[in-house]
Amino acid sequence: MKYSIVCLLVFLGPFASFVAAQEEGWGNLTGQIVVAGDAPKNDEEPVGSNKDRAACLVDGKVPLDDAIVVSDENELKNVFVIMYTGRGANKPDSFHPMYDKSKTATMTLDNQKCRFVPKALFARTGQKLALKNSDGVGHNCRIATFNHEHNVNIPPNSSVEITLGDDDDKLPGDVFCDIHKWMDSIIFVRENPYVAITDENGKFTIENIPPGEWTFQFWHKKAGYMKTLEVDGYKLGRRGETEIKIEAGKELDLGKLTFDAGDFKD
């Protein structure tokens, strides 16, 4: 009988893992954000006659602004999906152990062709952030969120490491290069790890969320709170928030969430 049970577990390997995850009591949230209509066109970056112009061109051309990145299928990149933990909101008693590693991992914010890469970044409080410069010209990295301020010069082809503070930001904040004024990025710093940023296909996944009723917000730099986002079965508030029920051992797929192109800000 003992031998039979062992054989059964080996045979059901992937299924057994799913059952274990279900018993642990965690759920996933996923979805995809698309734009309805024509998103605003991105203008050329104001590279002008900057002394580093040659190093900032991409394939010999002035790059376009990347504030709004939409795929050929109108999928929207760089939307932040955030578990809201502000006043009156439910807050998890604990985080899944998988997030312990993200707390101690060093994140990287690179400078490539006078662009911050990635454009949007989420980091945990107290986490190390490597400010990398892959260019042959010097850059400056000025982080200016509500609770985090850093101003670091980065020599060509080098890297400088900083440690983020222990205070949560309520919303993503800005990163600038004071040498190349058009360069910008977005960073969100918070202890709670239940945050996702949509990829080039507009997709997001937040893994291993405790079961319960949680408030999630949707935010984009050129839209702000995405209060007009259309989510089937959910109504969003003025801060782009809605209540979502997460069930143990299940993945909730919100499907395609639609944002009207006319609701982007100038």
The pLDDT assigned to 21 comes to 41
pLDDT tens digits for 215-232? Answer: 999 999 999 999 999 999
The pLDDT assigned to 173 comes to 97
The pLDDT assigned to 64 comes to 93
Tell me the residue type at 48.
G
Residue 112 burial (CB count, 10 A)? 12
**Which DSSP helix (H) or strand (E) runs through 26?**
none
Secondary structure, 3-state, 185-250: EEEEECCCCCEEECCCCCEEEEEEECCEEEEEEEEECCCEECCCCEECCECCCCCCEEEEEECCCC
Tell me the residue type at 175.
V
**Which DSSP helix (H) or strand (E) runs through 112?**
none
Which residues does the chain have with pLDDT short of 70?
1-23
pTM: 0.89
Tell me the residue type at 110.
D
The pLDDT assigned to 102 comes to 86
Kindly give the pairing relationship between strand 120-123 and strand 251-260: unpaired
The pLDDT assigned to 49 comes to 87
What DSSP letter does each residue of 69-95 carry, written as one string? -B-TT-BBP--EEEE--STT----S--
Q: Residues 228-231: contacts with CB within 8 Å, 24+ apart?
A: 228/259, 228/260, 228/263, 229/33, 229/257, 229/258, 229/259, 230/257, 230/258, 230/259, 231/31, 231/257
Measured in Å, how far apart are the chain's first and last C-alpha atoms? 69
DSSP, collapsed to helix, strand or coil, labels residue 50 as coil
DSSP 263: G
The pLDDT assigned to 86 comes to 87
